[in-house]
Amino acid sequence: MNNNKYKILLVEDENNIRNLVATMLETAGYHTVIAKTCSEAQMMFLSHLPDLIILDLGLPDADGLCLLESVRKSSLTPVIVLSARSDERDKVTALDMGANDYVTKPFGSAELLARVRSALRTSRHSSNEGKLPGGKFTLHDLVIDYDARRIFIRENEIKLTQTEYNIVAFLSEHCGKVMTYSSIIKAIWGHTHEGSVKKLQVNMANIRKKFGTRIGENNYIINELGVGYRMNADKE
Ligand code: CA
Protein backbone atom coordinates (compact mmCIF):
# COMPACT_ATOMS: atom_id res chain seq x y z
CA MET A 1 0.00 0.00 0.00
CA ASN A 2 1.48 3.28 -1.12
CA ASN A 3 0.39 6.13 1.11
CA ASN A 4 1.99 8.71 -1.15
CA LYS A 5 -0.56 8.23 -3.89
CA TYR A 6 -2.12 11.36 -5.29
CA LYS A 7 -5.82 11.57 -4.62
CA ILE A 8 -8.00 12.61 -7.56
CA LEU A 9 -11.65 13.60 -7.29
CA LEU A 10 -13.46 12.54 -10.46
CA VAL A 11 -16.78 14.29 -11.07
CA GLU A 12 -18.74 12.73 -13.94
CA ASP A 13 -22.36 11.62 -14.19
CA GLU A 14 -22.02 9.32 -17.21
CA ASN A 15 -21.31 5.79 -16.00
CA ASN A 16 -19.27 4.71 -19.03
CA ILE A 17 -16.94 7.68 -18.99
CA ARG A 18 -16.62 7.65 -15.19
CA ASN A 19 -15.69 3.97 -15.10
CA LEU A 20 -13.26 4.39 -17.97
CA VAL A 21 -11.50 7.38 -16.44
CA ALA A 22 -11.43 5.81 -12.96
CA THR A 23 -9.78 2.72 -14.41
CA MET A 24 -7.22 4.81 -16.31
CA LEU A 25 -6.34 6.71 -13.13
CA GLU A 26 -6.19 3.68 -10.85
CA THR A 27 -4.04 1.81 -13.39
CA ALA A 28 -1.65 4.75 -13.44
CA GLY A 29 -1.36 4.57 -9.64
CA TYR A 30 -3.67 7.38 -8.56
CA HIS A 31 -6.21 7.01 -5.79
CA THR A 32 -9.61 8.00 -7.17
CA VAL A 33 -12.69 9.25 -5.34
CA ILE A 34 -15.90 9.66 -7.28
CA ALA A 35 -18.84 12.04 -7.39
CA LYS A 36 -21.80 11.93 -9.77
CA THR A 37 -23.36 15.30 -9.04
CA CYS A 38 -22.22 18.79 -8.20
CA SER A 39 -23.49 18.64 -4.61
CA GLU A 40 -21.85 15.26 -4.05
CA ALA A 41 -18.62 16.74 -5.42
CA GLN A 42 -18.81 19.68 -2.99
CA MET A 43 -18.98 17.26 -0.07
CA MET A 44 -16.24 14.99 -1.44
CA PHE A 45 -13.97 17.97 -2.01
CA LEU A 46 -14.33 19.11 1.61
CA SER A 47 -14.02 15.66 3.16
CA HIS A 48 -11.23 14.25 0.96
CA LEU A 49 -9.15 17.36 0.08
CA PRO A 50 -8.04 15.85 -3.25
CA ASP A 51 -4.77 16.80 -4.97
CA LEU A 52 -6.59 17.31 -8.25
CA ILE A 53 -10.14 17.43 -9.60
CA ILE A 54 -11.34 16.12 -12.96
CA LEU A 55 -14.61 17.87 -13.64
CA ASP A 56 -17.34 17.20 -16.19
CA LEU A 57 -19.25 20.40 -16.92
CA GLY A 58 -22.64 18.86 -17.71
CA LEU A 59 -23.88 17.51 -14.37
CA PRO A 60 -27.49 16.63 -13.54
CA ASP A 61 -28.00 19.04 -10.62
CA ALA A 62 -25.86 22.03 -11.65
CA ASP A 63 -23.26 23.31 -14.08
CA GLY A 64 -19.78 21.99 -13.22
CA LEU A 65 -18.57 25.59 -13.35
CA CYS A 66 -20.41 26.18 -10.05
CA LEU A 67 -18.14 23.65 -8.39
CA LEU A 68 -15.09 25.27 -9.97
CA GLU A 69 -16.22 28.64 -8.65
CA SER A 70 -16.68 27.41 -5.10
CA VAL A 71 -13.39 25.45 -5.11
CA ARG A 72 -11.48 28.55 -6.29
CA LYS A 73 -12.85 30.60 -3.40
CA SER A 74 -10.81 28.54 -0.97
CA SER A 75 -8.10 26.64 -2.82
CA LEU A 76 -5.73 26.35 -5.78
CA THR A 77 -6.34 22.60 -6.21
CA PRO A 78 -5.73 21.93 -9.91
CA VAL A 79 -8.92 21.37 -11.92
CA ILE A 80 -9.04 19.66 -15.31
CA VAL A 81 -12.33 20.11 -17.13
CA LEU A 82 -13.86 17.44 -19.35
CA SER A 83 -15.68 19.00 -22.25
CA ALA A 84 -17.32 18.14 -25.55
CA ARG A 85 -15.49 18.91 -28.78
CA SER A 86 -17.65 21.82 -29.91
CA ASP A 87 -17.73 23.76 -26.66
CA GLU A 88 -14.87 26.20 -27.23
CA ARG A 89 -16.68 28.86 -25.24
CA ASP A 90 -17.10 26.53 -22.24
CA LYS A 91 -13.39 25.80 -22.26
CA VAL A 92 -12.52 29.49 -22.37
CA THR A 93 -14.97 30.27 -19.56
CA ALA A 94 -13.60 27.42 -17.42
CA LEU A 95 -9.98 28.50 -17.97
CA ASP A 96 -10.79 32.14 -17.20
CA MET A 97 -12.56 30.98 -14.02
CA GLY A 98 -9.39 29.25 -12.87
CA ALA A 99 -9.46 25.76 -14.38
CA ASN A 100 -5.91 24.56 -15.07
CA ASP A 101 -6.64 22.65 -18.21
CA TYR A 102 -9.26 20.81 -20.21
CA VAL A 103 -9.50 17.51 -22.05
CA THR A 104 -11.86 17.15 -24.98
CA LYS A 105 -14.13 14.10 -25.21
CA PRO A 106 -13.44 11.57 -26.56
CA PHE A 107 -9.90 11.35 -25.21
CA GLY A 108 -7.30 8.63 -24.83
CA SER A 109 -5.60 7.42 -21.69
CA ALA A 110 -2.21 8.87 -22.68
CA GLU A 111 -3.64 12.34 -23.26
CA LEU A 112 -5.57 12.44 -20.00
CA LEU A 113 -2.63 11.16 -17.95
CA ALA A 114 -0.25 13.69 -19.54
CA ARG A 115 -2.65 16.49 -18.56
CA VAL A 116 -2.93 15.10 -15.01
CA ARG A 117 0.86 14.87 -14.60
CA SER A 118 1.31 18.36 -15.96
CA ALA A 119 -1.36 19.86 -13.65
CA LEU A 120 0.11 18.12 -10.59
CA ARG A 121 3.63 19.24 -11.55
CA THR A 122 2.52 22.83 -12.02
CA SER A 123 0.80 22.93 -8.65
CA ARG A 124 3.83 21.44 -6.86
CA HIS A 125 6.29 23.93 -8.33
CA SER A 126 3.99 26.73 -9.26
CA SER A 127 6.46 29.40 -8.26
CA ASN A 128 9.61 27.99 -9.82
CA GLU A 129 8.52 25.49 -12.48
CA GLY A 130 11.23 25.28 -15.12
CA LYS A 131 13.14 28.22 -13.74
CA LEU A 132 16.77 27.97 -12.76
CA PRO A 133 18.59 30.10 -10.20
CA GLY A 134 19.55 33.41 -11.78
CA GLY A 135 16.18 33.98 -13.39
CA LYS A 136 16.52 31.54 -16.27
CA PHE A 137 13.91 29.28 -17.79
CA THR A 138 14.77 26.22 -19.86
CA LEU A 139 12.62 23.92 -21.95
CA HIS A 140 14.42 21.49 -24.28
CA ASP A 141 16.67 23.76 -26.41
CA LEU A 142 14.89 26.94 -25.39
CA VAL A 143 16.45 29.21 -22.76
CA ILE A 144 14.89 32.43 -21.49
CA ASP A 145 17.03 34.82 -19.49
CA TYR A 146 14.41 36.84 -17.63
CA ASP A 147 16.91 39.30 -16.16
CA ALA A 148 18.43 40.19 -19.53
CA ARG A 149 15.12 39.70 -21.42
CA ARG A 150 16.87 37.52 -23.99
CA ILE A 151 15.82 34.23 -25.60
CA PHE A 152 18.04 31.51 -27.02
CA ILE A 153 17.32 28.36 -29.01
CA ARG A 154 20.21 25.92 -29.32
CA GLU A 155 22.39 28.74 -27.98
CA ASN A 156 21.45 31.08 -30.86
CA GLU A 157 19.83 34.27 -29.74
CA ILE A 158 16.33 34.87 -31.12
CA LYS A 159 15.73 38.57 -31.69
CA LEU A 160 12.20 39.40 -30.58
CA THR A 161 10.36 42.69 -30.25
CA GLN A 162 9.42 43.78 -26.72
CA THR A 163 5.84 42.59 -27.25
CA GLU A 164 6.92 39.25 -28.70
CA TYR A 165 9.30 38.73 -25.77
CA ASN A 166 6.56 39.59 -23.27
CA ILE A 167 4.22 37.02 -24.84
CA VAL A 168 6.82 34.24 -24.77
CA ALA A 169 7.87 35.10 -21.21
CA PHE A 170 4.24 35.14 -20.06
CA LEU A 171 3.55 31.71 -21.59
CA SER A 172 6.76 30.33 -20.06
CA GLU A 173 5.66 31.51 -16.62
CA HIS A 174 2.57 29.34 -17.09
CA CYS A 175 4.35 26.53 -18.89
CA GLY A 176 2.10 23.55 -19.62
CA LYS A 177 -1.10 25.49 -19.02
CA VAL A 178 -3.41 26.79 -21.75
CA MET A 179 -3.69 30.56 -21.49
CA THR A 180 -6.81 31.96 -23.11
CA TYR A 181 -6.54 34.69 -25.74
CA SER A 182 -8.12 37.20 -23.35
CA SER A 183 -5.81 36.33 -20.44
CA ILE A 184 -2.73 36.80 -22.68
CA ILE A 185 -4.07 40.05 -24.11
CA LYS A 186 -4.82 41.37 -20.63
CA ALA A 187 -1.32 40.46 -19.42
CA ILE A 188 0.47 41.99 -22.42
CA TRP A 189 -1.60 45.04 -23.33
CA GLY A 190 -3.56 45.54 -20.11
CA HIS A 191 -6.90 45.79 -21.86
CA THR A 192 -8.95 44.15 -24.59
CA HIS A 193 -10.43 45.86 -27.59
CA GLU A 194 -11.66 44.88 -31.01
CA GLY A 195 -8.76 43.50 -32.99
CA SER A 196 -6.77 42.35 -29.94
CA VAL A 197 -6.95 38.70 -30.90
CA LYS A 198 -5.81 39.52 -34.42
CA LYS A 199 -2.90 41.53 -33.00
CA LEU A 200 -1.96 38.60 -30.75
CA GLN A 201 -2.12 36.18 -33.69
CA VAL A 202 0.13 38.41 -35.80
CA ASN A 203 2.69 38.57 -32.99
CA MET A 204 2.46 34.82 -32.52
CA ALA A 205 3.01 34.19 -36.23
CA ASN A 206 6.19 36.31 -36.04
CA ILE A 207 7.37 34.43 -32.96
CA ARG A 208 6.87 31.09 -34.70
CA LYS A 209 8.77 32.34 -37.75
CA LYS A 210 11.66 33.53 -35.60
CA PHE A 211 11.66 30.30 -33.62
CA GLY A 212 11.94 28.48 -36.96
CA THR A 213 9.07 26.17 -36.05
CA ARG A 214 8.49 23.47 -38.65
CA ILE A 215 5.48 21.20 -39.00
CA GLY A 216 5.97 17.90 -37.21
CA GLU A 217 8.66 19.25 -34.93
CA ASN A 218 8.39 19.59 -31.20
CA ASN A 219 6.74 23.01 -30.99
CA TYR A 220 7.45 25.21 -28.01
CA ILE A 221 4.14 27.01 -28.33
CA ILE A 222 0.94 25.23 -29.28
CA ASN A 223 -2.15 26.98 -30.59
CA GLU A 224 -5.24 25.50 -28.95
CA LEU A 225 -7.70 26.52 -31.66
CA GLY A 226 -10.47 28.82 -30.50
CA VAL A 227 -9.14 28.82 -26.92
CA GLY A 228 -5.61 30.15 -26.55
CA TYR A 229 -1.92 29.22 -26.51
CA ARG A 230 0.09 26.79 -24.41
CA MET A 231 3.82 26.49 -23.92
CA ASN A 232 4.36 22.80 -24.45
CA ALA A 233 5.85 21.16 -21.36
CA ASP A 234 5.51 17.57 -22.64
CA LYS A 235 8.78 15.80 -23.15
CA GLU A 236 8.98 14.01 -26.50
CA1 CA B 1 -22.20 14.89 -18.11
Dump pLDDT digits (tens) for 83-130: 876 778 888 999 999 999 999 988 999 999 999 998 888 765 444 444
Mean pLDDT (whole number) for 38-45? 96
pLDDT higher than 60, residue 236:
no
Task: Compute, in angstroms, the gap from residue 67 CA to the centroid of ligand 1.
Answer: 14
Q: Could you give the CA distance from residue 31 to residue 35 in angstroms, rounded to a whole number?
A: 14
pLDDT higher than 90, residue 156:
yes
b/e sequence 162-188, b meaning 16+ C-beta within 10 Å: ebbbbbbbbbbbbbbbbbbbbbbbebb
Q: Could you give the CA distance from residue 132 to residue 218 in angstroms, rounded to a whole number?
A: 22
Mean pLDDT (whole number) for 147-173? 93
Q: Between 118 and 229, where is the model more confident?
A: 229
Task: Compute, in angstroms, the gap from residue 17 CA to the centroid of ligand 1.
Answer: 9
pLDDT higher than 80, residue 15:
yes
pLDDT higher than 80, residue 206:
yes
Q: How many CB atoms lie within 10 A of CB 133?
A: 6
With CA atoms as reference, report the closest residue to 13 among 2, 1, 25, 21. Answer: 21
Task: Compute, in angstroms, the gap from residue 30 CA to the centroid of ligand 1.
Answer: 22
Task: Compute, in angstroms, the gap from residue 6 CA to the centroid of ligand 1.
Answer: 24
Task: Compute, in angstroms, the gap from residue 105 CA to the centroid of ligand 1.
Answer: 11
What mean pLDDT is reported for the chain? Answer: 88
- Whether 11 and 63 have beta carbons less than 8 Å apart is answered as no
| Residues with C-beta atoms within 5 A of ion ligand 1 | 13, 56, 58
Highest mean pLDDT among 69-78, 118-127, 227-236: 69-78
pLDDT higher than 90, residue 51:
yes
Domains of the chain by start residue, with CATH: 3-125 (3.40.50.2300), 136-231 (1.10.10.10)
pLDDT at position 121 is 80
Task: Compute, in angstroms, the gap from residue 48 CA to the centroid of ligand 1.
Answer: 22
Task: Compute, in angstroms, the gap from residue 14 CA to the centroid of ligand 1.
Answer: 6
Mean pLDDT (whole number) for 158-167? 95
